[in-house]
A and B are shown apart, each in its own frame.
Chain A
Amino acid sequence: MDTLLEVASVSKRFPVTVKGASRGSEHFLQAVDDVSFSIGRGECVGLVGESGCGKSTLVKLITRLSDTSDGRIWFDGHDIGTVPADRFAGMPQRALIQMVFQDPTDSLNPRFTAFDTIADPVRRLGPSSGAGEMTERVHTLADMVGLPRELLGRYPHQLSGGQKQRVGIARAVALEPRLLVLDEPTSALDVSVQAVILKLLESLRRRLGMSYLFVSHDLNVVRLLADRVLVMYLGRIVEMGSVNDVFERPRHPYTRALLSCVPESGPAGTSRRIRLSGEPRSPIDPDPNVCRFYGRCPEGVERCGREMPMLRSFGPGHLAACHLA
């Protein structure tokens, strides 16, 4: 498979102050820790994990809204990690990596009409065109995402959740990006609207030949669209593989616990539940030699406390980072 995005050993640290620490000591919150993966052309990769796992930070790094602390990012063969985030707007790759946001209300400028919102990226990064061509382009995009043209003159507060999300999608695909990051695009929408939007996203992907990075906490939704899945925990990737491999034959205890908690249509769910005890480890100054899941993990041996498990293969494309898998 032809690789579009390659992420190699990417990390992101934030300096933090710790209560009661000695003066002059530096402490860091390890949001993303040594993450490596790739996305192929036309592929949809799912990214799952719970709050604090680092997926939001990773998304910001990939979309170049923030800079890495370590590691490299290649997009279409170009090293995009070295250009600072606040100067990335001028790079040719800016138009090719776009994002659809989770909260449709928060992601639209309240003072911009739907038309202005969709037109903005075209005005900033698209080929220079006259007003007529611009209107033409926005109309085409509105049609593509199923947004009635008469709604283009409205402000966000006059649109429903589903309509706002369509505006966000139209904006994101306006420049025909190669990679579209979808950050929980349907979690703020009703189930009935969700189905429509998911189908729209899938048809757009095929039509425009885009690759997706689909971030979601809803495993059932990820299952629908993704080809491959990455599971993150406390900044590290703990398992990755095809959707079938990860969902049907999970290797990492965290993945298994996660899957056991997904509500299914039946009371049998509660009996198969894998309980996780305690709270997650602190992401501040984590010990590089201890597995991040050790302590909460239902399994766990002495080795887990002194040697960090690395990703190893359990089949073609199926990797998990666990000593006991």
Chain B
Amino acid sequence: MTAVALRHARYVVTENPITLVAFSMLLMLLLLALLGPALAPYDPLKSDTANTLKPPSARHWFGTDQLGRDMLSRVMVATRLDMAIAFSAVALSFAAGSLAGACAGVFGGWTERIVSRISDTIMAFPLFVLAMGIVAALGNSVFNVILATAIINLPFYARMARAEANVRREAGFVEAARLSGNGTMRVLAVHIYPNCLPPMMVQASLNLGWAMLNAAGLAFIGLGVRPPTPEWGILVAEGASFILSGEWWIALFPGLALMLAVFCFNLMGDGLRDLIDPRRRT
């Protein structure tokens, strides 16, 4: 089974050059996230007052900031935090939202009403403002950023899962599963839920980019992650005040990193779905 899965994975990745590019970028980002601190040429937190605000050069590829810290190292090390926040938030959101939505789609009645009303309530707020509110109320910490991002993303997964489950509920194979002696919970867990997932994989991938932007945005305005922890949003915030005075590199490189990461996640959407959906397994 695993041999087949690996062969399929290789096929999917190589079939479409865009998917290949996206997966390569993802691999690079993951590598940086895991090994960032080890690979960084300088200590990201170490200030060097002799070398402040130096433009990109051979010694400092991304230049230095107002405290003389190497920008390249800061951007590299920040990868870990940003990726961690994005993945955790989406994973949490996906798990909770899809389960709630699938249950709502299958059971209907009060389950559906409750899930729908909660979703509607969340969606009634401008989502970023809601995230701001949650982090402000609960306190500035990485966990709260993850929680806030997960909460504002719930409705999308819940709605998708509910629609998918609703359609599958009437399918022949679901009836066949009941005839085979599967109880309601088993039918939901083994037959309906796994089939709801493929269409949601694309959404999840797009969400990763969005979650990252969300966290960066919160950090930019001073909520959630606080300096001196390197995080792309904070780096952009710090660099923003220097743009007008001509030190463009402080904000540009973290901004670029953010852009590339989000771009990569968006491209990955289709590739991920192909991997999961057995219909495409040939």
**Which residues of A are in contact with B by a Cβ distance under 8 Å?**
63, 65, 86, 89-90, 94-95, 97-99, 101-103, 106-112, 117, 120-121, 124-125, 155, 157-158, 168, 171-172
Instruction: Say which one of B17-25, B84-92, B175-183 lies at the interface with A.
Output: B175-183
Chain B 239-276 interface residues, beta-carbon cutoff 8 Å to A: none
Cβ contact within 8 Å between B282 and A109: no
Q: Is the CB of B195 within 8 A of A110?
A: yes
Beta-carbon contact of B172 and A120 below 8 Å: no
Given A109-B191, A157-B279: A63 and B179 within 8 A (CB)?
yes
Q: Do the beta carbons of B191 and A155 come within 8 Å of each other?
A: no
**With A109-B195, A111-B194, A157-B278 as given contacts, are A89 and B183 in contact (CB-CB < 8 Å)?**
yes
For B171, give the chain A residue with the smallest CB separation: A106
CA distance A107 to B170 in the complex (A): 10
Flag whether B141 is at the interface (Cβ < 8 A).
no
Indicate if B11 sits at the interface (CB-CB under 8 A).
no
How distant is the Cα of A94 from the Cα of B182 in the complex, in angstroms? 10
B171, B176, B178, B182: most-surrounded residue (chain A CB, <10 A): B176
**Residues of chain A within 8 A of B180, CB atoms compared:** 120-121, 124-125, 171
With contacts A109-B191, A157-B278 known, is A95 near B181, CB below 8 A?
yes
Given known contacts A110-B279, A111-B195, is B182 in contact with A89 (CB within 8 Å)?
yes
Are the CB atoms of A109 and B173 closer together than 8 Å?
Answer: yes
What's the minimum C-beta distance from A223 to chain B, rounded to whole angstroms? 26
Identify which of B172, B175, B282 contacts A158 (C-beta below 8 A).
B282
Once A89-B182, A110-B195 are accepted as A-B contacts, the answer to whether A171 and B176 lie under 8 Å apart by CB is yes
Q: A89-B182, A106-B171, A125-B180 are in contact. List 4 more A-B contacts (CB 8 A).
A: A106-B173, A111-B194, A120-B182, A171-B176
* CB of B281 within 8 Å of the partner chain: yes
B229 within 8 A of A: no
Docked CA distance A92–B157 (Å)? 39
Inter-subunit contact B181/A124 (CB<8 Å): yes
A94 touches B184 (CB 8 A): no
Show 23 residue pairs from A and B whose CB-CB distance is below 8 angstroms, ordered by the A residue: A63-B179, A65-B178, A65-B179, A86-B183, A95-B181, A98-B179, A101-B172, A101-B176, A102-B172, A106-B171, A106-B173, A109-B177, A110-B195, A111-B194, A120-B180, A120-B182, A124-B182, A155-B279, A155-B281, A157-B278, A157-B279, A168-B176, A171-B176
Which A-B residue pairs are the 5 nearest by beta carbons?
A107-B172, A124-B181, A121-B180, A125-B181, A106-B172
Q: Shortest beta-carbon distance, A205 to chain B, in Å?
A: 18
List the A side residues contacting B282 at CB < 8 Å.
157-158
A contact residues around B184 at 8 Å (CB): 86
Asked whether, in the complex, the Cβ of A103 is within 8 Å of the Cβ of B182, the reply is: no
> What sequence of 0s and 1s flags, for each residue 65-102 of chain B, a beta carbon within 8 Å of any chain A beta carbon?
00000000000000000000000000000000000000
A296, chain B: closest CB distance, angstroms = 30
CA distance A108 to B191 in the complex (A): 10
Interface size on B, residues (CB 8 A): 21
- The interface residues of chain B lying within 8 Å CB-to-CB of A117 are 173
Given A86-B184, A89-B183, A157-B278, A108 and B178 touching (CB < 8 A)? no
Contact mask B178-201 → A, CB, 8 Å, 1/0?
111111101000010011000000
Closest to A177 in B: B179
Please tell me if the beta carbons of A103 and B279 are within 8 angstroms of each other in the complex.
no
A121 to B173, CA, bound (A): 12
Looking at the assembled complex, report how far the CB atom of B175 sits from the nearest CB atom of chain A, in whole angstroms: 6
With a cutoff of 8 Å between Cβ atoms, the chain A residues found around residue B279 in the complex are 110, 155, 157
Given A101-B176, A108-B173, A109-B191; A121-B278 close (CB under 8 Å): no
- Within the complex, the shortest CB–CB distance from A5 to chain B, in Å, comes to 16
B181 touches A121 (CB 8 A): yes
Closest B residue to A98 by beta carbon equals: B179
Q: For chain B residues 111-146, which have a beta carbon within 8 Å of chain A?
A: none
Across the interface, name the chain B residue whose C-beta is closest to A157: B279
B7 CB, min distance to chain A CBs, angstroms: 14
Distance of A160 Cα from B176 Cα, bound (Å)? 19
B157-180 toward A: CB 8 Å interface, digit per residue (1/0)? Answer: 000000000000001110111111
Closest CB-CB distance, A167 to chain B, in whole Å? Answer: 10
Interface string of B10-38 (1 = CB under 8 A from A): 00000000000000000000000000000
Q: For the complex, what is the distance from the CA of A110 to the CA of B191, rounded to whole Å?
A: 9
Q: Chain A residue with minimal CB distance to B180?
A: A121
Residue from A98, A109, A124 with most neighbouring chain B CB atoms (10 Å):
A109
Question: Given A111-B195, A111-B278, A99–B179 Cβ distance below 8 Å?
Answer: yes
Q: Which residues of B contact A108 (CB under 8 A)?
A: 172-173, 176
Whether B178 lies near A120 (C-beta < 8 A) is no
* Other-chain contact of B173, A107, A125, A157, A158 (Cβ < 8 Å): A107
Taking CB atoms, residues of chain A closer than 8 Å to B175 are 65, 99, 101, 107
B residues in contact with A109, CB < 8 Å = 173, 177, 191, 195
Partner of B172, one of A95, A97, A98, A103: A103
A101 to B180, CA, bound (A): 13
User: Which chain A positions have C-beta within 8 A of B177?
Assistant: 109, 120
Alpha-carbon distance between A36 and B125 when the two chains are bound, in angstroms: 57
Per the bound structure, the CA–CA distance linking A313 and B247 in Å amounts to 100
Minimum C-beta distance from A114 to chain B (A): 12
Give B241 Cβ to nearest chain A Cβ, in Å: 53
